[in-house]
Structure 1
Amino acid sequence: MGGKIASLKVLKTDKSIKMIMALAIPAMLENTLQVFIGVVDTYFIGKIGTEAIAGAGITNLTMNMYIAFFLALGVGTTAIVSRNIGAANYEEANNAVKQSLIMGVFISLIFGTLNLVFSKNILMLLGAEEKVIQYALPYFLSVAVPSVFLCIMMILSSALRGTGDTKTPMKVVLIANIVNAVLDYVLIFGFGFGILGAGLATTLARIVGVVLLLKKIKSKETKIYLSLSNPWKINKNMLKSIIKISLPAAVERLIMRSGQLIYGGMIIKISTEAYVAHNIAGTIEAFSYLPGMGFGVAAATLVGQSLGARKDDEAKKFGWMAYFLATGFMMVVGMIFYIFAPFLAQLFTKDDTVIHLVVKVLRIIALFQPLLCATLVITSSLQGAGDTKFPMYVTLIGIWGVRILGVYILGMKLELGLVGVWLAYAIDVTIRGVILMIRFLKGNWRKISIG
């Protein structure tokens, strides 16, 4: 009898792993493809000139702030949709998507109008010189003004993930990649539009993505069939629920972004080589985030659905399993960072001083992958449960109370330079990772209402 029970547990565990992997792998690939869009754009814009790259970079600084709000809306959408899908309340899930879209379109149209009216002022405020503004302005107007399409694309993708469909967003981003790459070449060089062509290519690729996602959601193949013909009414209670979950997630991302700007300025003061090495290390490190983000999507979806089905223990199990699976992937990435650090650094620069710094940093990063994973996957698990305030507070303490202070003390006062900066990062990740795991272990998040 005991043997049968044990074998049933193994079968159930195997099934749970398969469910997590089925969601996480497409999500990982989607995140990789999202990164690749930026790489392709940078490649083609780089052919235009240095000022063009600078212009696109300044535009992306602004877009990152807007994306923080769009991502937060996505968090709220996924949490509410997944909870209602788990409870088999498909009408409420459908309503959540409608209300998220109404809010998202409203916010992004405000952003778009401000971008249109104050475009040059915004670029000047960000410190762009006149030469750079000549390139930045057409790109800014063609990407930042129609940001509504990016917002809709992100909300619809989040809604589908909430139902357990991570394959469709992945396929859509793949098609958007192809459209973007082809249009980049055709519009920049074929029609001679220059950087304006790059901006138009990006926006047109997003429009294609929106059309494909809408087609999927209108196909009745999903659990959130979205009818565009029926009247859409504002539901104040649902909007309050979305704001309740999304607002702390938005604040958390703004805390992160603002903190990055502050300690980025500190690193510049250390030395130019340190700043260059920091950016190279950060670019390489981004690849270690991909497994964590992918499994985070799986965790958020399955935790939310399990809570909706009133299976609290299952929700906890999915969260921990997603974390341990992601940690395995990220530790492999960490080993690659540690062993091949010199080779990876040399892909980006030939400066020996910079290479030496990048190698040191990558080896620090390699040692802290399990705790970095906690800040990604456990945060997503909590957010999937609707617990977005706690991660926000933890991020505030970690970024402003630990990392920025640590960069100042270790990097500048104790003159450890870039090594001190990344030691502060490691301390921050350790503290946040441990606090988040304790929170998840205690299980208070299971009692949070999304209504």
Structure 2
Amino acid sequence: MSEDLKKKTAKLTLFAITWPIFIEILLHMLMGNADTLMLSQYDDNAVAAVGVANQIMSIIIVMFGSVAAGTTILIAQNLGANQTKRASQIAVVSIVTNIVFGLVLSIVLFFFGEPILLAMNLPEELMSTSLIYLKIVGGISFVQALIMTLSAIIKSHGFTKDAMYVTLGMNIVNVIGNYIFIFGAFGAPILGPTGVAMSTAFSRILGTIILFILLYRRVKGDLPWSFLTKKFPKRELKDLLKIGIPAAGEQLSYNGSQMVITFFIASMGTAALTTRVYTWNIMMLAFLFSIAIGQGTQILVGHLIGEKKYEAAYQRCLRSLWIGMSVSTFMAISFAFFREEIFSIFTDNQEIIQLGGALLILTVFLEPGRAFNLIVINSLRASGDVRFPAYVGIISMWGVAVFVSYTAGIWLGLGLIGVWIAFILDEWIRGILMLRRWKSKKWMRMSFIVEEDDKEKNTGNKANTN
């Protein structure tokens, strides 16, 4: 590890790590919204077709994210333990694993996109548009896999600004490409959704190239590609999947439970469904802070666990939790206070404005509970405690969120109010259980630092002394 990198990792602070992550997440969200907004000026059917294709892509991204999640934690722990060689080996294994995984999924989406879309009961008039988009964007899924992995490696080393700047650049390129191909600017052909897919693909390829360049500059060429030619990386791959599979399972379970709850809401009528969409988009600005603080805390806790500074890691999580709860609660109260003005920006339907306003008031109680999960769960994972959050999360998502949504929302007739009560119960129950787990300190025995590496160091030191 270079001296610059040592100094960088030694000076990691929550604010320095978190604010670029927040901007990066916000930009990712805006990138998807930009596609939808610009396509809406072209054709409503195009928006629907691309939306269905992106639902498939969101599931694929969860799978890639499983390897990226393991990458972040393992590299942070090993850098904290000053095991830079093993951190670099994990980086190489992560890159190759997600490339292989991504290529397989790219081939599946390119050649079997139509059967997949038919299985989703896609209307015939949307099929050709959705299929073209899926073949272009899905066909380069391995590029998205690389972006997530390279970004995880760079952020684990503390260079969160790099990932933010790359995401900003990708957004700019994507919007310019959309403008050119949707509206036929500068004499270009009007390609609609095909043009959106092309600009998305180009921006991601360009982003990948820049991330590779940044990776080599930051890690100073310490990526041991020859490591893979000497032996099969069984240990590294096992650790990556040990973290990634529970994390992916939890995320897929969350997506599934939300789809079921959306089905419940759809049965309440169009106004309820529309209100849910508007309210959720407004809420995202509140819990984006908790997401960013959770990811930043994960990196810091991983480094502290690697250094065996368990008490410092314990306190770091608790401080981050109170910061996250305070910020998200303040944002939720602000939205609740100006609820009618905010909803009036989106609609003049008084039913939606009144119902959405009531949901924003309930959000004041929801967001602190969500902060529990986004911050404490990331800390537990960073310590190596990956199964408990996944098991509790899956049980609560279905046993509380889905069950109470149906019971209170439909059976008791409370509608969206009942659904929001279910969300509040789910987040707080999980959050309290996660905090109890953290305070039990059982996670102190679960790090992924390999003791054999320490033994090898000691043996080498003895030999040098002799």
Task: Give TM class, smaller chain.
Answer: over 0.9
State whether residues 81 and 97 of structure 1, in contact with CA within 8 Å, keep that contact through their aligned partners in structure 2.
yes
Aligned to 1:319: 317
56-65 or 325-334, larger mean C-alpha shift: 325-334
Quote the offset at 1:143 in angstroms: 1.0
| 1:205 to 1:283, Cα distance in 2 relative to 1, 3 A | same
* More deviation, 103-112/196-205: 103-112
Query: Which residue identity does 2:222 align to in structure 1?
Result: Y
Mapped to 2, the partners of 1:396 and 1:39 lie a distance apart of: 29
- Residue equivalent to 1:72: 66
Matches within 5 A, 1:26-425: 26-188=20-182, 189=184, 190-219=188-217, 221-222=218-219, 225-226=222-223, 234-425=232-423
Structure 2, unaligned runs of 5 or more:
1-9, 451-466
Q: Deviations over 1:360-416 (max 9, x none)?
A: 111111223221101111111111112221111121121100011001110000000
5 Å-filtered alignment, 1:1-16, equals: none
CA distance in 1 between counterparts of 2:173 and 2:254 reads 32
Contact 1:72 1:250 in 2 (8 A): yes
Q: How far apart, in 1, do the equivalents of 2:266 and 2:37 lie?
A: 25
- Percent of matched pairs sharing the same residue: 27
Deviations, residues 176-203 of structure 1 (Å, cap 9, x unaligned): 1111111111233233222111011111
Secondary structure of 1:39's counterpart equals helix
Q: 1:340 to 1:290 in 2, by over 3 A?
A: same
Q: Provide the C-alpha distance between the structure 2 equivalents of 1:266 and 1:200, rounded to a whole number of angstroms.
A: 36
Q: CA deviation at 1:212?
A: 0.9
Measure, in 2, the Cα distance between the counterparts of 1:362 and 1:18. Answer: 35
Structure 1 residue 145, shift from structure 2 partner = 1.7
- How far apart, in 1, do the equivalents of 2:70 and 2:355 lie? 39
- 1:236-292 per-residue CA deviation (whole Å, 9 max, x = no partner) reads 111011111111001000110111111111111122211111111111111112111
Write the letter of the residue equivalent to 1:222: V
| Distance (Å, rounded) in 1 between the aligned partners of 2:222 and 2:324 | 32
Determine the C-alpha separation between the residues in 2 that align with 1:379 and 1:117.
Answer: 38
Measure the CA separation in 2 of the matches of 1:387 and 1:272: 42
| 2:459 matched residue in structure 1 | none
Q: Is the 8 A contact 2:12 2:158 kept in 1?
A: no
Query: In 1, Cα distance between the equivalents of 2:57 and 2:240?
Result: 22
What's the TM-score, normalizing by structure 2?
0.90
What code does the residue aligned with 1:201 have? S
Q: CA deviation at 1:345?
A: 1.5
Corresponding residue for residue 437 of structure 1: 435
User: Match for 2:299: what amino acid?
Assistant: T
Cα distance in 2 for residues equivalent to 1:275 and 1:282:
11
Gaps of 5+ in 1: 1-15
Q: Judging changes above 3 Å, is the alpha-carbon distance between structure 1 residues 264 and 17 closer, same or farther for their aligned structure 2 residues?
A: farther
Query: Quick one: which of 1, 17, 20 aligns to 1:23?
Result: 17
Per-residue deviation, 1:43? 1.7
Deviations 1:32-70 (A, max 9, x none): 111111121112211220110001110111011111112
- Looking at structure 2, the residues matched to 229 and 81 of structure 1 have their Cα atoms a distance apart, in angstroms, of 19
Q: Is the contact between residue 303 and residue 319 of structure 1 (CA under 8 Å) also seen in structure 2? A: yes
> How well do the aligned residues superpose, as a CA RMSD in angstroms?
1.7
Residues 402, 424 of structure 1: 8 Å contact kept: yes
- Equivalent residues, number: 435
Distance in 2, Cα, partners of 1:283 & 1:405: 24
Q: TM-score, normalised by structure 1?
A: 0.93
Match of 2:424 in 1: 426
Q: For 2:220 and 2:71, how far apart are their aligned partners in 1?
A: 14
Match of 1:270, SS state, is coil
1:223 Cα deviation after fit? 6.9
In 1, Cα distance between equivalents of 2:72 and 2:388: 18
